[in-house]
Amino acid sequence: MHIDIISVVPGLLEGPFSHSILKRAEEKGLASVRVHNLRDYATGKQKQVDDYAFGGGAGMVMMIEPIARCIEALQKERTYDEIIYMTPDGDTFDQSMANRLSQVENLLILCGHYKGVDQRVRDLFITKEISIGDFVLSGGELAAAVVADAIIRLIPGVLNDETSALTDSFQDGLLAPPVYTRPAEYNGIGIPEVLLSGHEAKISEWRFEASVRRTKEKRPDLMKGTGWE
């Protein structure tokens, strides 16, 4: 998988992609992420990428021209399965969306800033708009990193334990069950005996029941339509 990210502040994305799972995915040749500075596609001495909104009002708007130049230049290099715009009014990102996007080959993500982008960018180029929640960030970079992380970790071979991603919260519509590690007792507090039994069927049954209980307590909204209410 290849992901291109367009940003006004590319430095914000240096950390997330140079460590841990995302770095290993690139070293294994399973995924690559490239961040592009939008100002490289701007003109003039100031490399301006934003301007005042027509009609007035507070805040600046990202201009269509540098964005169009950047996208069109990148499209000459590869065909994108989706061109994504990170925006608070996009579709809410969830695990099912991450699963779908992890199966494509090429993604292009545009990070919003200021008051957003000229609407014509969205009309002409964007194929998918994504939000990571009902709140506003200073820019789309952190949101883009969240989306990329959630997608890349699902690619087969990225995680050392390939079954790990399949047992994450939300994969089956439930939250993950409680987990424990050594010591088996801490300050007089033990762990469920079934986890020490070695009986795989009973352990699986306990984990499923624990997932259902936890989901009912913490996220009952996820239970609707599952038959586990």
What pairs with residue 51 in β-bridges? 61
In terms of DSSP bridges, do strands 60-62 and 2-7 run parallel, antiparallel, or are they unpaired? Answer: unpaired
CA 82 to CA 105: how far, in whole Å? 9
134 has binding-site annotation: yes
The SS3 of residue 65 is helix
Q: Which one-letter amino acid corresponds to residue 111?
A: C
Q: Is 137 annotated as a binding residue?
A: yes
Task: Calculate the alpha carbon distances from 148 to 102, 156, 212, 228 in Å.
Answer: 9, 15, 28, 31
Is residue 107 a known part of a binding site?
no
136 labelled ligand-binding:
yes
54 is in an annotated binding site: no
Please enumerate in sequence order all residues whose Cβ is within 8 A of that of 135, keeping only pairs 6 or more positions apart, or say none: 88
User: 186 φ, ψ to 5°?
Assistant: -135, 120
- Which of 136, 16, 145 shows the shortest CA–CA distance to 84? 145
- Say how many Å lie between the first and final Cα of the chain, rounded: 38
Residue 135 assigned as binding residue: yes
Q: What gap in Å lies between CA 151 and CA 26, rounded to an integer?
A: 13
What Rg do the C-alpha atoms of the chain give, in angstroms?
Answer: 22
Residues contributing to the annotated binding site for S-adenosyl-L-methionine: 112, 132-137
* Known binding-site positions: 112, 132-137
